[in-house]
Amino acid sequence: MAKSPHSFNKRQREKDKQKKNKEKRERREEKKIEKAEGDSPAGPEIDWDSAPVNRTLSDKEESEKEKIEERNSDS
């Protein structure tokens, strides 16, 4: 006796789902490997020279920021 179309369609959906999950796992593994190798950059390169300057700091905050920058540049 032949299988009903419902059984056949169900089996096909299951196969498609398994295939999709397998491909998804493979892509995930590839991304892990690429990330571990460090080939891809962490994000877009930022041009800090063309970035806007923060003019909202008070004089006190500005002087504290400069002191911290001086300490960091000395290290």
Q: What is the DSSP track for 5-34?
A: HHHHHHHHHHHHHHHHHHHHHHHHHHHHHH
* Cβ pair 34, 40 in contact under 8 A: yes
R_g of the chain, CA atoms, integer Å: 28
Q: What pLDDT shows up at residue 75?
A: 64
Please tell me the pTM assigned to this model. 0.44
Q: What is the pLDDT of residues 30-67, one digit of tens each?
A: 988 887 776 556 677 878 788 887 788 888 988 998 99
For the segment 2-12, what is each residue's pLDDT rounded down to a tens digit?
778 899 999 99
Q: Where exactly are the structural domains of the chain?
A: 7-39
Above 90 in pLDDT, residue 23?
yes
Selected residue with higher pLDDT from 3 and 19: 19
